[in-house]
Structure 1
C-alpha cells in the first residue's frame, strides 16, 4: 500500500465530515429518564453548551412513555434535581440551586408538572446539597436524604459563608494527602436526613420542613459518604418505609491509601442511633474472607433486606464484584449470589421481594440481567438487553422497565424492556433528535475477534462518514486506560471514536489482556504484566488488521491512548510497534517507573506490581518506558497531554517524557491544562484538546492534506511557545 496510491484514494474517500469536535461538545447532554409512578411520563434533564455565547443552558423535560413525545417542563437553570413525590403522578420535589435566605444554600420546592412555575418552597437547606432521594410514609410524611460537605462536628459546609484562613499551609500526619484532583482537608462528604410534613395554609395542604437536618455520617469517625471522586447518590439508599438509611463508606478503621476496603452502614433515618456496619470486621453477618470494596446498597421493597455488591480482595480495585443480601436486625448475610459467574454486577435493583435486576459489563456492553435473591453458586444469569451501555433503569407498573443507555452511535437512547420479552420499544434516541448527531447509526460500528498473545481478543471498529469498503482509510489505533477497563459500545464526550473516524480514519479499539467484561482470567492476567501480554495482543491486532482488512491503511496509521493507554503508547514508542505508526498521542500516561510511588492510591500500584516499591522495585522497573535502551529507539512524532490537577498521575510524568523526546530530537509537543484533572472536562478546553490531538494525528497521517475540512494544527488559536534559537 504505497503513499501515492493512498493519497489519491483518500482524497476522494471523504470530503465531508460527520461528527465534528464542536458538534460533539455542543450537542445536548441528557440525563436518565425517570418515570412517574403510573408509568405515563418520565422526567429528564438536558444541558447544552454554545460556542457562540460560551455559556451553557439547561432544561427539564417530560417524555411521554406511550408515544415517545417530548415537551419542555422548565428551562429554569436553578432547578438542579427533580424526583417524583410519593405515589402522586404529577407532583415533584426538586432542588432549587439558590436560597433567598442563606447565601450558598439551596431550597426544596414542590410543584405540579401541569403548572410547574407556580410551585412553592418546602424547606431551606443551609449549604449546597445534592443527591436528593425521598419516600412518602404511610402517615403522609416525606422523608428525604441529600448530601453535602460536612465539618467534623456534623455541620454542613457552606463555601460562601466559610471564613478564609490567613495561611494557605497544609499539614498532614498520614498518607492520602491528595486524591484525584483535590487535596484532603478536615471536611468530608456526608448524608443528611430530613422530613417534610403536610401543613394547611390558604385552604390547601402544603409540605413544610419538620425540624432540621441530621448528619448520619459524622458520628462515625473517619467515615465518608458518598465517597469521592466518583461517589454519588448510588452510595446510599432510603428504605421504602422511610425508617432506615444504608450508606457506603471507605473503611473508617484502615489507611485509605493502602486498602480498597469499604463497609455498608445502616442507621435510622432520624439519626437516633449511630450508624453501624453490616459487613465490618466485627459485624456478626460479615461473610468470611470478604474484605474489598462495596457498592450500590439498596433496600428490598419490604424494607427488610439490603442487597449490595462487594469484592473479596482488599487491595484490588478491579476485583470481581458479587452480590450479597443482608437481613436487617439479624446475623444473616446470604453468601454471594451466582458466585461462579465470571462477571461483575455494577447496578442493583429489586424487581420484587425475590428477584433483582442487575446491570453488568459484558463483552464490550453493559447489559441487564435477572438474578434471584437466593441464586446458588452455579446460577448463570441471562441478559435481556444487548447493545450499548445501560446507565439507568426503572420499573413500570406493567412489570416492564424504562431504560436509558448510550452507544457509540448515540448519546441518549430510551427504551422499554422486560426479562420475558427482551427489548420492546425505542422511545427516543439522540441521533434522530439532535442536528449535531444526525446520520449516526449502528451501521457506523462493528467488531471483530482475533488470536492474541494467549487467547481471543475482541476489537470495536468505527467507520468514517460515507465509508466505502472499496477505498482505504488510515488506521487510528485506540488503546484504553484502566488498565482493568475496556472499550465499550458507549458514548463518550472525551474519547469519542466517531469524532476521530469522521476525520477520515477507521478507528480500531481492541480490548487486550487486562480488559474487563470478558472474564476474570483476561482481566487479571495483566497483573505484573503491563508491557507483556497486553503489548503482544496489540501487536497481533495490528498484524491482523494489516493482513486481513483491505480498507484499513496501516502504512499511514496512528495510535493514541490515555491513562494506562498512555503508558502503553509510551511503551510502544520504545518498541518495534512504535515504528509502524506515523504519530502517537499520550494523554496522562506514566513514563518513569520509579515515579509510580508518587500516586495517591498506593493499593493500585502495590497490587499490579506484586508488592511495595522498596521490596519489589524490579517489578516496577520491568515495564519501564523510560529505560535507556527504550529511549534510544524513540523516533515517532509524539504529542503529550498532561494536566496539573491529575494527582493520580502527576504532571511531572508528562514533562519527563517531553524532555526526553525533545532532547532526542523527536518531533513532539506538550499540551497542558492547569485547571483539569485526569480528564478534560471544560468545554473550551475540550475543544482545544480535540483540535490539538486531531491536528497532530492528521498532520503526520496525511489526513490534513487529503481530507478537506479535517482539523489542522494550523488552525490553532492558542499561542505556541517555542524558545529554540
Structure 2
C-alpha cells in the first residue's frame, strides 16, 4: 500500500504494520466514530438502519467496546540468542477512560509471557548490541529539560534497579536505532522536528507567538492534518561512550548530550517524511559509520511529485548527505524517478538495498528492489524487476546472500525470499501464507520470528523458515484475550467472482454463532485508496468481525484498483473511478444475491471511507444505491471540482490524467454531485467527516449532507473537530 493516499492504513503505535503503503493507507476511524457517538448520544449512530428489523446478536459476539478495550501488542523483538522476545502492550479502560501500557518478555520456547515493566514512560525498548539481557530504551520524560526525552540502559534480570540514564535529549525525539562501534561505543540515531537552523524543536520551550497569522508564497501549505511551517523532520546522530565505573565495576554508557543533525546540511531535505514516515525511513550500518535515509526530492515541488531519493551520510556528520539515486548520481537507473523507501544495509555494510517506484507522480506504482554497492559510486543493481508484486519492507539474511521481503499478495501480506544476485525474471517464493505480516526478525536458527495479524486475531507470533514455511506458533491473541477467545479461522472465507473485466476477490466474514440455515442482513464493505485492499488482517478501525458480530454477514470485495493482485488490477482504476470499480461492486452484490442463501441482500447496508466514501456517494446516485436500506460514507469526495482543494496535487493529477484546467472533464466524469445523480438520491445515509481532514476537506461532507437534507433523504451528519482523515 502507498505511504500516502486518499485513504491510508495507519495502525496504532502498538499495532505496527511494516508494510507501509498504508501502512499504511488508513481506512479511517468509522468504527471509533460510531462508538464515540453512541457513548455521547446514548443511541446507535446506525439508527438509520432500524428499518432492517431486529437482529439477534450472539452472546459470544465481539462488541465495539470489547474491540477498543482489547490489548494491543507491538511486534515481538527477539534477543540475539533467540530465546526470548520483547513486546509492548497497551489497553484502554472504559472505566477510567485512560490507556495503560507495559512491556513484557515472551519465552519463544514455551510461549510464557512475563511482565518486564509497567512504566508508561518506557518506549522503544530494544536489545543492547549482542547481549541477551542488556536493554536500551527511550524515556518519555526528561528530568532537566521540559519536553525533552532521555536514553536509558537497563537489564532484563532486574529492570528497575539496574536502569540508569545514559543520555539527555533536548526534545521529544524517537525512532531509536543503534550500532556497536569497533571501540565498543554505541552510535545511535533518533528523529524529531528541527528548526531551520538545524537544532531540535521542543514545543515546551517555545514562546506563544503574538499573532496566529500564516503566510505562504509557494504551493503546499498544509499536509494531511497539519499546516506546514519552516520546521522539518530530521535525523539526529549521537554516541554513547562505553566507560568503566571503577575497579571491578561493570561497563557503563554515557553521552555528553551533543547531537548532529544529518539532514540539515542539504537544503530542503527531510527525513522521515511526515506524516507516516518513521524509523524505517533510515538505517545505520553495522559498524556505526554510515547512515542511509530517504528524503523527498529537494529540487522538486512536493505537491506535484512523489520523487524521493536515498542519501548516504557519515554518522558523525563530517560530510554532507549525498543521494545515491538522484538525477545527478552516476549510478541512478535510467527512467526510475518515483518514490524511494526502506533503505537497509547488508550485514557486512558493503551493500545497501532499497525499494523504488518508477513513476514520478504515482503513489501506488509497483516498488522494485535495488542494491547499491557502497564503495562504488555507479553500481546499482535491479532485482526481480519483472515480478508483478510490490514489496513493502526488506531485510537481509544474516549471511548477506538473500533478502526477505514483506509483500502484499492476494489479500495477505507474506514473506518472500529473494537472492541478492537474482535476475530480472526471478519470481520470489513466499514462505508464509495466511494473515498479514507486521514485522519479522532473523533468528540464529535461520528462522524468522514473525509478528502477524489476521481477521480472527489481533496478534500472532510464530516462526517461519524459507523453504519450510511456518515452523511453530508461539503466541496468539485469540487464545489469551477474553474478548477474542471465540474467534478463529472459520470466522472468514473468501471467494472469486466475474468482475467487469477479470476475476475479483472478496472476503466474507460471519457473525458469531453463524448458522448457514438462517439468513442474515448484508454489510457491504468498500475499501479506500483507491489503490488499496481488504486483507487478512486485524484493524481497530474497520474491523470486519466486530461489524459482523452485530448480526451481519460482511462482504468485503477487492475490485479494480485493489493492490496485491498485480499491476493491471491496481492501475486500471486511474481515470475510471466510477466505471470498472462500480461495475465490479454491482457484480459482487449480484453474485452474493444469487449464490449465498444465508445472506438477505434486501436488508443490506453499504459503508466505505475515503475512496470508499466517494464510492458510497456515487452508489447513492446510481441504481445500486436503491438495493440498500442505508449507506454510510466517511471522508469521501462529493463535488468533482472540489478535488483541487487537496494538498498532494500529484495524486489527483495522476488519477485524472492531467491538470484541473486542461483536463477538467476527467475530474467531472464521475461526479456524485452532478444533477442527474443527485436526483436519484433516496437511500438513508450517514455522513461522517472531520475538521482536520485536509486531504478531503470537511466542506465535502457538509455539501453532501446539505444536498441529502434538501432532497428530503433521511440523513445524519457526524463530525469531529479534532480528528483528521484517518
Could you say whether these structures have the same fold, taking a TM-score greater than 0.5 normalized by the shorter chain as the test?
A: yes
Find the counterpart in structure 1 of residue 205 from structure 2.
Answer: 161
Secondary structure of 1:247's counterpart equals: strand
Question: Distance between the aligned counterparts of 2:308 and 2:528, measured in 1?
Answer: 24
| Superposed counterparts of 1:311-330, under 5 Å | 311-330=357-376
Secondary structure of 2:157's counterpart equals: helix
1:255 equivalenced with 2:298 (yes/no): no
Find the counterpart in structure 2 of residue 577 from structure 1.
Answer: 624
Question: Distance between the aligned counterparts of 1:86 and 1:204, measured in 2?
Answer: 16
Question: Distance between the aligned counterparts of 2:296 and 2:323, measured in 1?
Answer: 11
| Superposed counterparts of 1:347-386, under 5 Å | 347-351=393-397, 352-386=399-433
Shift of 1:331: 2.9
Secondary structure of 1:160's counterpart equals: helix
Aligned partner (choices 613, 627, 636) of residue 589 of structure 1: 636
Question: Distance between the aligned counterparts of 1:336 and 1:302, measured in 2?
Answer: 20
Aligned partner (choices 30, 46, 51) of residue 89 of structure 2: 46
Aligned partner (choices 251, 259, 262) of residue 205 of structure 1: 251
Find the counterpart in structure 2 of residue 77 from structure 1.
Answer: 120
Find the counterpart in structure 2 of residue 664 from structure 1.
Answer: 711
1:645 equivalenced with 2:686 (yes/no): no
| Superposed counterparts of 1:472-487, under 5 Å | 472-487=519-534
1:465 equivalenced with 2:512 (yes/no): yes
Judge conservation of contact 2:167–2:257 (CA < 8 Å) in 1: no
Q: Which has the higher contact order (CA 8 A, sep 6+)?
A: 2
Secondary structure of 1:95's counterpart equals: strand
Judge conservation of contact 1:10–1:471 (CA < 8 Å) in 2: no
Find the counterpart in structure 2 of residue 346 from structure 1.
Answer: 392
Judge conservation of contact 2:383–2:420 (CA < 8 Å) in 1: yes
Find the counterpart in structure 2 of residue 23 from structure 1.
Answer: 66
Cα pair distance change 1:15/1:204, threshold 3 Å: closer
Shift of 1:200: 2.1
Shift of 1:12: 8.3
Question: Distance between the aligned counterparts of 1:525 and 1:501, measured in 2?
Answer: 31
Aligned partner (choices 399, 417, 441) of residue 488 of structure 2: 441
Shift of 1:336: 2.3
Judge conservation of contact 2:436–2:536 (CA < 8 Å) in 1: yes
Find the counterpart in structure 2 of residue 171 from structure 1.
Answer: 215
Aligned partner (choices 366, 378, 382) of residue 332 of structure 1: 378
Question: Distance between the aligned counterparts of 1:511 and 1:122, measured in 2?
Answer: 50
Residue by residue over 1:190-248, the C-alpha shift from the partner in whole angstroms, topping out at 9 and shown as x without a partner, is 00001011122253321001561110001111111000111000000000111100000
Question: Distance between the aligned counterparts of 1:10 and 1:357, measured in 2?
Answer: 50
Shift of 1:11: 6.2
Residue by residue over 1:100-157, the C-alpha shift from the partner in whole angstroms, topping out at 9 and shown as x without a partner, is 1111111111001110002111110100010000011221010100001101111000
Secondary structure of 1:114's counterpart equals: coil
Q: Please report the RMSD computed on the Cα atoms of aligned residues, expressed in angstroms.
A: 1.3
Question: Distance between the aligned counterparts of 1:247 and 1:11, measured in 2?
Answer: 55
Question: Distance between the aligned counterparts of 2:57 and 2:76, measured in 1?
Answer: 37
Find the counterpart in structure 1 of residue 196 from structure 2.
Answer: 152
Judge conservation of contact 1:416–1:423 (CA < 8 Å) in 2: yes
1:416 equivalenced with 2:463 (yes/no): yes
Question: Distance between the aligned counterparts of 1:211 and 1:160, measured in 2?
Answer: 19
Question: Distance between the aligned counterparts of 1:11 and 1:638, measured in 2?
Answer: 19
Secondary structure of 1:513's counterpart equals: coil
Residue by residue over 1:419-439, the C-alpha shift from the partner in whole angstroms, topping out at 9 and shown as x without a partner, is 021001111111111112121
Shift of 1:330: 1.2
Cα pair distance change 1:673/1:11, threshold 3 Å: closer
Question: Distance between the aligned counterparts of 1:141 and 1:210, measured in 2?
Answer: 13
| Superposed counterparts of 1:448-527, under 5 Å | 448-527=495-574
Shift of 1:82: 0.7
User: Comparing 594-603 with 135-144, which one deviates more in the overlay?
Assistant: 135-144
Shift of 1:333: 3.5
Judge conservation of contact 1:85–1:135 (CA < 8 Å) in 2: no
Secondary structure of 1:189's counterpart equals: strand
Judge conservation of contact 1:93–1:109 (CA < 8 Å) in 2: yes
Judge conservation of contact 1:13–1:472 (CA < 8 Å) in 2: no
Secondary structure of 1:500's counterpart equals: helix
Shift of 1:335: 3.5
What is the aligned length?
Answer: 673
Judge conservation of contact 1:316–1:604 (CA < 8 Å) in 2: yes
Question: Distance between the aligned counterparts of 2:595 and 2:166, measured in 1?
Answer: 65
Shift of 1:15: 4.1
Structure 2 unaligned blocks of 5 or more = 1-49
| Superposed counterparts of 1:84-103, under 5 Å | 84-103=127-146
Find the counterpart in structure 1 of residue 344 from structure 2.
Answer: 298
